Structure 1
Amino acid sequence: MATVELRFSAQPEHVRTARLVAAAVARRAGVEEAVLDEVRLAVGEACSRAVGLHRGIGLTAPVRVVLTEEDKTFSIEVGDEVPVAGTAAGDAAAGGGAAADSDVDTEDEMGLAVISGLVDDLEVTSGESGGTIRMSWPVSGSSDLP
């Protein structure tokens, strides 16, 4: 099992780098060429979502991307450190009014809808320490590329 971990500051310009790294690692892991565009798009959307959540509350913590190559699957986890509203930490971080919360919720739902359209195996979790989007794709053949 091989793992690559990427952390980047919550700036939109770093999302492109995350997409490129994800596509390169996915290719090396054995994800089919026809699926690489879906990997790029899904990672871009997940990272953009995390960047938006961080910037929305002024959080300076980095966005975390973990790419894992296993025997038959390639998985990517994109994590943010934005606590869920309803927890003590989430209530303290929320700050904005109802209109601001509604806009963020709508954008968040749209981002997750796009990701779910691109990825068959998707898991979204969230809690007091932040959220994680876990996506995985099947790999074909050997990953012993030069």
Structure 2
Amino acid sequence: MATVELRFSAQPEHVRTARLVAAAVARRAGVEEAVLDEVRLAVGEACSRAVGLHRSNGLTAPVRVVLTEEEKVFSIEVGDEVPGPGGGPDAAVPGIEAALESDLDGEDEMGLAVISGLVDDVEVTTGESGGTIRMSWPVAGVSDLP
């Protein structure tokens, strides 16, 4: 299992770099060429969302992006440091639909809707230490996610 971790200050101009790194690592991991645009767009949306949350909450902590290459799947986690409502640490949101139905502002809802349209396997978690959007894609030659 190979992992690349990227941390960047919550500035919009760094989102482009995160997209480029994600696409390069996904290509190396074996994600199909036709899917790389979806990876790039989904990471851009998730990072833009995290940057917006950090900036609107006055946080100086970096946005965290973890890219993990496993045998059959390539996954990306984009994390923010904005504490979520209740549910204790790292409470899972039961599906992207629940995240879309919550009391999020319009821009946040739109970003999650775009991500859910681009990625089949999405998990949104939130807790006292912040939120994470985890996205997964099969690598080339693998028909189903584990």
Q: Which TM-score tier does this pair reach, normalised by the shorter chain?
A: 0.7 to 0.9
Identify unmatched segments of 5+ residues in structure 2: 88-102, 142-146
AA in 2 matched with 1:22: A
What does residue 20 of structure 1 align with? 20
AA in 1 matched with 2:39: V
What does residue 66 of structure 1 align with? 66
What is the Cα deviation at residue 86 of structure 1? Answer: 4.7
AA in 2 matched with 1:56: S
What does residue 57 of structure 1 align with? 57
Contact 2:86 2:127 in 1 (8 A): no
What is the Cα deviation at residue 39 of structure 1? Answer: 0.1
What is the Cα deviation at residue 140 of structure 1? Answer: 1.0
The within-5 A match list for 1:33-52 is 33-52=33-52
Length, aligned pairs only: 127
What is the Cα deviation at residue 85 of structure 1? Answer: 3.5
Identify unmatched segments of 5+ residues in structure 1: 88-101, 142-146
Three-state SS of the structure 1 residue aligned to 2:105 is helix
1:19-70 Cα offsets, whole Å, 9 max, x none, are: 0000000000000000000000000000000000000011000000000000
What does residue 116 of structure 1 align with? 116
Higher helix proportion, which one? Answer: 1
CA distance in 1, matches of 2:131, 2:139: 26
AA in 1 matched with 2:123: E
> Structure 1 vs Structure 2: percent identity of aligned residues?
90
AA in 1 matched with 2:70: E
CA distance in 1, matches of 2:41, 2:22: 10
What does residue 99 of structure 1 align with? none
Three-state SS of the structure 2 residue aligned to 1:31 is coil
CA distance in 1, matches of 2:25, 2:81: 24
What does residue 137 of structure 1 align with? 137
What is the Cα deviation at residue 135 of structure 1? Answer: 0.1
What does residue 90 of structure 2 align with? none
What does residue 6 of structure 1 align with? 6
CA distance in 2, matches of 1:86, 1:67: 28
CA distance in 2, matches of 1:128, 1:136: 24
Question: Is the radius of gyration larger for structure 1 or structure 2?
Answer: 1
4+ runs of 1 displaced by more than 2 Å? none
CA distance in 2, matches of 1:28, 1:86: 39
CA distance in 1, matches of 2:47, 2:3: 18
What is the RMSD computed on CA atoms of the aligned residues? 1.6
Three-state SS of the structure 2 residue aligned to 1:45 is helix
The TM-score with structure 1 as length reference comes to 0.83
